[in-house]
Amino acid sequence: MSVKVGVAGLGHWGPNLARNVDTLAELAWICDSDGSAVERTRGRFPQARATTDFDELLADDALDAVVVATPVPTHADLARRALEAGKHVLVEKPPAMTSAEIDELVTLADARDLVLMPGHLLLYHPGVRKLKELVDSGELGDVLCVYGNRQNLGVIRPDENALWSLGVHDLSVILYLLEEEPSEAIALGRDFLQPGVEDVVFCYLRFPSGKIAHMHLSWLDPHKMRKLTVVGTEKMVVFDDMELERKVTVYEKSPWLRAETYGEWQTRTGDIHIPKVATDEPLRLECERFLALVGGDGDRRKVAQDGARVVHVLEWLTESLRGR
């Protein structure tokens, strides 16, 4: 029997989730507290029941799962209410704004054996999957450092800073690639446009293995960049989401200690390779993963805990940013 899902939040992003749910499962409900958003959307999904009241959707005993695509400050509360009502939850990123909130959600989901999956879209991007494959296969040698560039002019958000709005993407990937929790987290930045909302943030992470990572996050920048670079001892790889055809580029470039140079470091440059990366829509893959977890496939507990790790590190970086 098909999984019955309700989607809450029908702004810019929610209808994309509803569209995917509609093709992969049964979209049973659509919900937005703003009636005009419901009216705007209901024609696209005529078979789904529509409401402005989240509790009405939760009261439907036949509903299996809820997707939360509302503004960030509402995520933790709506996810908690959905879990308390016995529904599996896919909640947009970041799933919560504090460690205390996400830890409560993880405990609740665990106690009720429900799925709590954060919408870390990049983790389902075939280009990021390729990066992971390259890191795990050892083809890059030992990974030394990873850095992310997520810059653009805008979108200037009032209720989230660049760290939470942009950094959540790169951080989820960095933690996924390295499978370590950082032992050091430092962030520096400035709130140029709106007091207390940092627009430009630089982050440094160091891991127990000695690997390091960096993130440049900004909506005050002339370049639109969506790039992650992984530097290994044998090869280096770049994932560039602005590219259409060469999302991933592998460089045979590395430092080289030649015996005949008596301990002096040289560099080695070889081929540049562009592996094929599937063009599947990441959001569809994310929804498929959620439905698989709901169906009992995969480690639902790990997915929730991985999501919590991202919030923990974001909170740690925030404390550093604010100088505490």
Give the binding site for ligand NAD (CB under 6 A): 8-14, 31-34, 37, 54, 69-72, 74, 78, 92-93, 119, 121
CB of 90 to ligand NAD, least distance (A): 11
Q: Which is nearer to ligand NAD, 119 or 189 (CB)?
A: 119
Q: CA-CA distance, 38 to 16, in Å (whole number)?
A: 14
CB of 168 to ligand NAD, least distance (A): 8
Q: Which is nearer to ligand NAD, 54 or 239 (CB)?
A: 54
Instruction: Tell the residue number behind the tokens 């937005």, with chain if given.
Output: 32
CB of 272 to ligand NAD, least distance (A): 29
Sequential DSSP letters for 153-194: E----SSS-HIIIIIHHHHHHHHHHH----SEEEEEEE-SSB
Q: Which is nearer to ligand NAD, 72 or 230 (CB)?
A: 72
Q: Which is nearer to ligand NAD, 69 or 231 (CB)?
A: 69
Instruction: Tell the residue number behind the tokens 């830890």, with chain if given.
Output: 103
CB of 176 to ligand NAD, least distance (A): 15
Our CA dihedral for 61, 67, 68, 70, rounded to 10 degrees, sits at -110
For residue 141, give both structure tokens: 């040698």
Is the distance from CB of 120 to CB of 93 less than 8 angstroms? yes
Radius of gyration for the chain, computed over Cα atoms and rounded to the nearest angstrom: 21
CB of 241 to ligand NAD, least distance (A): 11
Q: Which is nearer to ligand NAD, 64 or 286 (CB)?
A: 286
Q: Which residue is nearest to ligand NAD (CB)?
A: 11
Q: CA-CA distance, 3 to 304, in Å (whole number)?
A: 20
